[in-house]
Amino acid sequence: MIFDTHAHYDDEAFSEDREELIGKLNENGIRYVVNIGTCRETCVQTLRLTEKYPFFFGAIGFHPSDIAGFNENEERWFREQAKNEKIIAIGEIGLDYYWDKEEEVQEKQREAFVSQLKLARQLKLPVAVHSREAAKDTMDIIKEHGQGLGGVIHCYSYHVQDALAYVEMGYYIGVGGVLTFKNARKLREVVEAVPIERIVLETDCPYLAPEPYRGKRNSSLYLPYVVEKLAEIKGLTPSEVEDITFKNAVDMYRISHVMNPVNAISG
pLDDT (tens digit, 9 = 90+) per residue, 201-245? 999 999 999 999 999 999 999 999 999 999 999 999 999 999 999
- Please tell me the pTM assigned to this model: 0.95
Say if CB 158 and CB 128 are below 8 A apart. Answer: no
**Domain-wise residue ranges, the chain:** 2-264
Say if CB 166 and CB 153 are below 8 A apart. Answer: yes
Say if CB 125 and CB 152 are below 8 A apart. Answer: no
* The predicted structure's pLDDT at residue 265: 38
pLDDT (tens digit, 9 = 90+) per residue, 119-146? 999 999 999 999 999 999 999 999 999 9
Architecture of domain 2-264: Alpha-Beta Barrel (3.20)
DSSP character for 267? Answer: -
Query: How many Cα atoms sit within 13 Å of 124 on the Cβ side?
Result: 4
